[in-house]
Amino acid sequence: MLRIGIDIDNTITNTSNLANNLLKNDINFNGYFDYHNLSKSSYILFLNKYLDYIECNAGLNKDVCEVLEYLHNKGCYIVIITARGSMNFKNTEINTINYLAKNKVYYDKIIFKQESKLQACLDEQIDIFIDDKITVLDEMINKNIITIKFGDCVKKISHKIAKNWLEVKNIIDTIINNE
């Protein structure tokens, strides 16, 4: 049985779209278009104001629910491994669990507060890990984990690349068929 680890933000959900729209339309953060560019203090202000809303309302990436359901039916074990919760905002875990339930996102287990995800992957004996962040995947090189970079990628990288969830499905189908 394949054990698949998956990130949430910008992998399952389209978090940055919503966050950056909120940012652009808030006069308090005038001139900023990407929340990653905020100073530390502005970033905290931004999260205090919007994090609950973002966690409850970020859009799902296309086809993610169908593909997770498909992988579950194929016998895969699905572990969500997320950095969410690392900053100790009090509602993050409950917001996330409620959101996943409300949107019928299939998973077997969820692990919060993992900015570095390697240890959780090793503990959970993850075979395949999917994340939008290359630095997260880079840690997993030479650890016997198949890494899939989710989303557009112009750089040449040593991970498999899936632009969308149908491509994730194709990559994993190929792995299952070659087992």
Q: Least Å distance between CB 113 and Mg ion?
A: 14
Q: Least Å distance between CB 122 and Mg ion?
A: 19
- Piece of the chain touching Mg ion by CB under 5 A; list 72-80, 94-102, 103-111, 126-134: 126-134
Residue 114 touches Mg ion, criterion: CB under 5 A: no
Other CB atoms within 10 Å distance of the CB of residue 53:
13
Interatomic CA distance for residues 164 and 80, integer angstroms: 17
Residue 55 touches Mg ion, criterion: CB under 5 A: no
- Piece of the chain touching Mg ion by CB under 5 A; list 68-76, 107-115, 130-138, 156-164: 130-138
Q: Are strands 77-81 and 109-111 parallel, antiparallel or unpaired?
A: parallel
Residue 10 touches Mg ion, criterion: CB under 5 A: yes
- Candidates 4, 6, 9, 137: give the one binding Mg ion (CB under 5 A): 9
Element housing 67 (H / E): helix 64-73
- Candidates 5, 7, 84, 159: give the one binding Mg ion (CB under 5 A): 7
Listed in sequence order, the residues at least 6 apart from 46 whose beta carbon sits closer than 8 Å to its beta carbon are 23, 26, 29, 35, 38
* 1 Cα distance to chain centroid: 22
Q: Where does this chain bind Mg ion (CB under 5 A)?
A: 7, 9-10, 132
